[in-house]
Amino acid sequence: MMKLDSNDAPKTAAMPAASTDPAKPGTTITLRGARASDLHAINNLIASAIATWQLADRVKRISLPLYRYHDDDLRDMQLVVAHSGDDEFLGVAALERAYATDIFDGLETSVLHGIYVAPLRHRNGVGSRLLEAIENMARAQGTEALLVKARPEAISFFNARGFEKLTPGDRNRDYPYQFYKILSNFDPA
């Protein structure tokens, strides 16, 4: 598996700050691989993103530890961070190779563990930039399909970017908001 080193992290052109953030005109957005020293800021960003979810506060509090990243996650996953020129963390996305049974048998699959964007940066292109970087990384390592278990609030985001709903095999057991995107010329039919 190709590991993303901070030195060879995917680079994208700088993006001007959103017009909804007049306090920071000229801010740029840069994507790079996450470092162990980023984990505290990443986890704080994830906590602020989860705070916006349509869930009871108790559920958010109980589930938050499951969404935090740790040093060993940097060995098993590829994390990409979006940050501004002044190192404000704007978003993070994580990619991991999947077991063949997670989507289509025989198709190299990776799981997008999530895209978390700072609440004040929603709808400003940060999530799209992160998803584009994740898709490019996945293709570069031979991934043919990308799987994501999305929050209900993110369904339109993934639909607009070519993801299709995966019908749960067992409606009583399987997560209902699973989506996939074929990254190769594979025909799942």
Q: In the chain, what are the domains?
A: 10-17+27-182 (3.40.630.30)
- Calculate mean pLDDT across residues 128-137: 92
Please give the pLDDT value at position 92.
Answer: 94
Please give the pLDDT value at position 95.
Answer: 93
* Alpha-carbon torsion (32, 80, 74, 38), positive or negative: positive
Please give the pLDDT value at position 23.
Answer: 40
Digit-coded pLDDT (tens) for 116-126: 998 888 787 89
Please give the pLDDT value at position 159.
Answer: 92
For residue 65, give Cα distances in angstroms to 44, 62, 78, 91. Answer: 11, 7, 19, 18
Sheet with strand 29-33: strands edge to edge: 29-33, 78-84, 89-97, 109-117, 145-149, 178-182, 164-165
Please give the pLDDT value at position 153.
Answer: 86
Closest CA to 90 of 58, 55, 44: 44
Digit-coded pLDDT (tens) for 3-44: 223 333 333 333 333 333 434 444 578 899 999 999 999 999
Q: What is the pTM of this model?
A: 0.78
Confidence of residue 169 (pLDDT cuts 50, 70, 90): confident
Digit-coded pLDDT (tens) for 57-105: 899 899 888 889 999 999 889 999 998 876 688 999 999 987 655 556 6
Please give the pLDDT value at position 134.
Answer: 93
